Amino acid sequence: MPEMFAALSPWNGPVRVGGIIGMEAFSEGFAESGYEMPYWMYLGDNDPVTNALDLKLELGTILSLDGCEIHEDGQGGLVPDEIWTGEGHYTETAGYAEGDRFRTSLYKRKDGTVMAGMTVMKDMPHGAIMEQSRAAWEFMKHFRRPGNGKKIEII
């Protein structure tokens, strides 16, 4: 429902509905629709449900839709444009008591707009903590879809 939402934040691994991943997880015609969909994903490094191939397929799909360049690292992953950690971004001053567990890979469009982020949490199984909500909101609150258009606007 991209006409209703300006950003997406799935947690605990890739979108998997009955084993469907990548483009198949989106509604029919979404790829051709022209909608942009900023994306912020969380998963734990000890999550037994998540695997690298699923993550690459889903993230690659959304990056393509959002006009980001995709660069593979040669080891089955995607090269981020920037990385945020607890040392510079998720500090206690910023409200992250457990920010040292966060490692976020950021992916940008050519104009420098961050369109996707994937945070892997250290020592985290399948689950979530409150600080993930704060970080996701910090990303998502900057987007809106004016006039229910297909392009997002940064606010």
pLDDT 10s digits, 21-70: 544 556 677 777 888 889 888 888 888 877 666 677 778 878 888 888 88
Both tokens of 3, joined, read 């006409």
d(CA 36, CA 117): 15
Answer whether residue 76 shows pLDDT above 50. yes
d(CA 73, CA 59): 14
d(CA 12, CA 45): 10
Q: pTM of this prediction?
A: 0.84
List, in order, residues 6 or more apart from 113 with CB less than 8 Å away: 154
Q: What is the CATH number of domain 22-145?
A: 3.40.50
Q: Of residues 77 and 98, which shows the higher confidence score?
A: 98
d(CA 84, CA 54): 22
Q: State residue 65 phi and psi, 5-degree precision.
A: -65, -30
The three-point CA angle 55-60-81 to 5° equals: 95
pLDDT category, 18, cuts 50, 70, 90?
Answer: very low
